[in-house]
Chains A and B, each alone.
Chain A
């Protein structure tokens, strides 16, 4: 290594390697990284340039276990309409054996965020859209329009109710506030077999207090199934590695429909 050119090249390569590694470095144990921001100051809710990873483990919108918020209602506090409480209790008593999600049917928007296999948030301010790409369930995506459009009129016969409804979002500081209505009644909209009706209107508040935490809060307003609006939420953790433990840290290919063996195990025993 006496050749000055070789020494310079090696030093340059070493330096570049360190720089590249630092660009995707994860924080040391107990440390936090700041929330990533765009040039215009808007926060990244998901993947940011030079980084890797995706959102993974989450919690529930009721109860306080794990990443669920400490302010959540307990199950017995949820303001169910009488029929909705009875249906929820029936589902719980049967170990959620009729869960449509287990049959690879599309899930509701809260449930998708809670589903294993993770998700990514992709912001496109130039397109006035935020996409949420889900690795789990039926491997689908969701569009949140940020062009100020109004919610749909669910009483308009031309409004076709959909699995994920129609979402319109806006920023309040560092929080993306998303209003969604126009749902069909074919899903359990959130983890925990909660019933809903066509009158469901969700208000989600999504923020990122630090690099590794997505804070998710949703207000459920559905006079068909609940006697009053109620709010719950959870935090979602950032995954630095793939599910196989590798450093690829990308949503992997997963299709519920392929070799779905869960259904035969869905019994009330």
Chain B
């Protein structure tokens, strides 16, 4: 049964990534982080496909989820500094094989004014590792 769930999860993730890749970017003129982002996180020299969903709450907090390797984890402490449009967040949870996941991401928004080609690029670090990441607004 566990295997069935894992397979379903893989297919669902594949579907989400496919939709993100196929559908044209939707304009998003509101909060610069709000929306669905996709891209890569470089882990041990390999690209790991990432899907990230962020949503502004009325009290200005930003909630969100990151999906990678078939695992969905909540985003924590998401901040946007409008002074330089820098973004910081933390990801904490348990991976597919029960391993602990904990890393932080720090990046800058690019193409801020463009609702269709907005990006976030920067570095991640955690679990005694680190690397680059880049995301584009879908």
Q: Classify the interface of chain B: helix, strand, loop or mixed.
A: loop
| Beta-carbon contact of B113 and A224 below 8 Å | no
| Beta-carbon contact of B82 and A186 below 8 Å | no
Inter-chain CB contacts under 8 Å: number: 58
Report the separation of the CA atoms of residues A84 and B29 in the bound assembly, to the nearest whole angstrom. Answer: 11
Interface string of B15-50 (1 = CB under 8 A from A): 000000000001111111010000000000000000
Within 8 A of B (CB), among A189-238: 195-199, 223-225
Which of B30, B82, B83, B112 has its CB near the most chain A CB atoms (within 10 A)? B30
Residue from A94, A188, A224 within 8 A of B29 (CB atoms) = A188
| Beta-carbon contact of A83 and B32 below 8 Å | yes
Q: Classify the interface of chain A: helix, strand, loop or mixed.
A: loop
Distance in angstroms from A198 CB to nearest chain B CB is 7
Within 8 A of B (CB), among A169-194: 185-188
| Beta-carbon contact of B29 and A187 below 8 Å | yes
Report the separation of the CA atoms of residues A187 and B34 in the bound assembly, to the nearest whole angstrom. Answer: 14
Interface string of B71-93 (1 = CB under 8 A from A): 00000000010110100000000
Q: Say yes or no for B114: interface residue by CB 8 A criterion.
A: yes
Q: Say yes or no for A90: interface residue by CB 8 A criterion.
A: yes
Interface size on A, residues (CB 8 A): 26
| Beta-carbon contact of B27 and A87 below 8 Å | no
Mind listing 21 A-B residue pairs with CB under 8 Å? A81-B60, A83-B31, A84-B31, A85-B82, A87-B112, A98-B114, A105-B27, A185-B30, A186-B26, A187-B29, A188-B29, A195-B29, A196-B30, A197-B34, A198-B30, A199-B58, A223-B58, A224-B30, A224-B58, A224-B60, A225-B30
